[in-house]
Structure 1
Amino acid sequence: MNSLALHHASSGLQAVVAWAAVPNAATCREAESRLSGAELGLMRRLHRPQDQHRFVAARLLLADLAARQTGATASAIHLGEVPGGPGRAKPRLSVPGWDASISHDAGMVAAAVSPAPVGVDIQMTSCADRVRRLSEVFTEAELHWLAGHRSREDACLRWTAKEAILKARGTGFWEDPRDARNDSLHARANGVELVSLCPTPGYVLSLALLAPQVPRRPHREPPHP
């Protein structure tokens, strides 16, 4: 497990994000024994085996990360769901006072925990061309930035930053991603600490941490890059 900490300048609170490669199919099947009955039910709603493997990997990464940060044992941490928009939910830790977020794309998963609202997103850079076509999710400032930054990593940086902010708010794309407070270029001015990195070649990850008093709303499905 690789990890990184992010501190919120005004509140002094911290978020920790971890990322890992999705294990092989046999390892994921063995790991299913650590899931709760509710989690197994959620996993079985996914029809493709690769989606089930990513689900298992992300859930267990989150449980292990939460155990390290809260002092509880991983087996004592149960993951529920916070209802969101249609067909969407946010992970809920069984440890009171802690927020959580997960993300996965292709062969990588990421998880984040914090006492404050937190969001994480990871994306393959091979999706960059599709990201650049999603002009309806970026502010004018972000579009201008993208026009001057042409690498695949640049495009996925702006996309994952946007997703992480909206996940941290608990709204997803139910909230207008073009609203000024969701501009990833001016995150700190809106009470959001934001960090982006390339955790492994071919991927970009962003982590967003909000001040605790920021309101949260229902979540909806994002446009897919």
Structure 2
Amino acid sequence: MESTFRPITPGHVHRWGGAALLVARRRDLRGSPVLSPAERRVADALPGRRRTEWLAGRLVARRLVREVLAGAAHGVEILPRADGSPHLLADGAPVPAVHVSLSHTAHHVAAALAPGPVGVDLCETASAPAVLRVADHILSARERSVVGTDRPEALAGAWALKEAAVKADRSGIYGDAARGIEILGLRPPVLGGGRPAMVWRVGGAVLALVLAPAGNRG
């Protein structure tokens, strides 16, 4: 069966719509990120599996920062806001006009940087049955007709798009927020509200990147 989405190469920095994106396979990651005291406190408070995922996300994000913001890696922290969304700081101060988003699954990790609000999300194709079970909560009848219910990659893509979009808006996947962001097309991805979006295939996962509407990128 033909893939719904075009592939993206893991381990390389990609640029799309003004954003920089890096996705890696978890098995390819080596070492641990050097954490600030504040980051270490966050990591130490997490349970074991969640801590491992959190550290993997910071490892990929730091590599992206080094490659995109030359010379800015020293003193950089990625800490959660009060709502849990990540933000980038340098020497304790927010980095102006640089927004960050992270995502991880059991097999992949992704990070994105952009001048305005950005969301990145990964969904393993094997998670399609779980997406189907909650489809009524996040997809309208029209969206289900666009996505279909018999294509695992398309279902994973729909979830990743919704999750990436609510991350860019700093809201949550369940409830009215996700239903308010309509998937108008999947190949290529088209979202309501003027949100630029792209979806790729990486191994057994789908990766979505969503940018804030043009008027909200300041």
CA contact (8 A) 1:169 1:214 kept: no
CA contact (8 A) 2:36 2:77 kept: yes
- The Cα of 1:61 is off from its aligned counterpart by 1.1
The answer to whether residue 42 in structure 2 is matched with residue 42 in structure 1 is yes
SS across alignment from 1:75: coil
Give the structure 2 partner of residue 17 of structure 1. Answer: 21
**Which runs of structure 2 are paired with 1:179-194 in the superposition (5 Å)?**
179=180, 182-185=181-184, 187=190, 189-194=192-197
RMSD (Å), alpha carbons: 2.2
State the alpha-carbon separation in 2 of the partners of residues 152 and 189 from structure 1.
23
Give me the identity figure in percent: 26
| Cα distance per residue 1:47-73 (max 9 Å; x no partner) | 22x332221111121122123222233
State the alpha-carbon separation in 2 of the partners of residues 51 and 113 from structure 1.
22
Give the structure 2 partner of residue 221 of structure 1. Answer: none
The answer to whether residue 86 in structure 2 is matched with residue 91 in structure 1 is yes
The answer to whether residue 143 in structure 2 is matched with residue 142 in structure 1 is yes
**Which runs of structure 2 are paired with 1:52-71 in the superposition (5 Å)?**
52-71=51-70
**Which runs of structure 2 are paired with 1:54-203 in the superposition (5 Å)?**
54-84=53-83, 89-94=84-89, 95-134=95-134, 135-147=136-148, 150-173=150-173, 175-179=176-180, 182-185=181-184, 187=190, 189-200=192-203, 202-203=204-205
TM-score for both structures, normalised by structure 2: 0.81
> Which segments of 5 or more consecutive residues in structure 2 lack a partner in the other structure?
1-10, 90-94
SS across alignment from 1:78: strand
CA contact (8 A) 1:67 1:77 kept: no
Q: How many residues were matched structurally?
A: 196
State the alpha-carbon separation in 2 of the partners of residues 210 and 156 from structure 1.
21
State the alpha-carbon separation in 1 of the partners of residues 41 and 150 from structure 2.
42
| Cα distance per residue 1:122-158 (max 9 Å; x no partner) | 01111101101111111222111233x5221111000
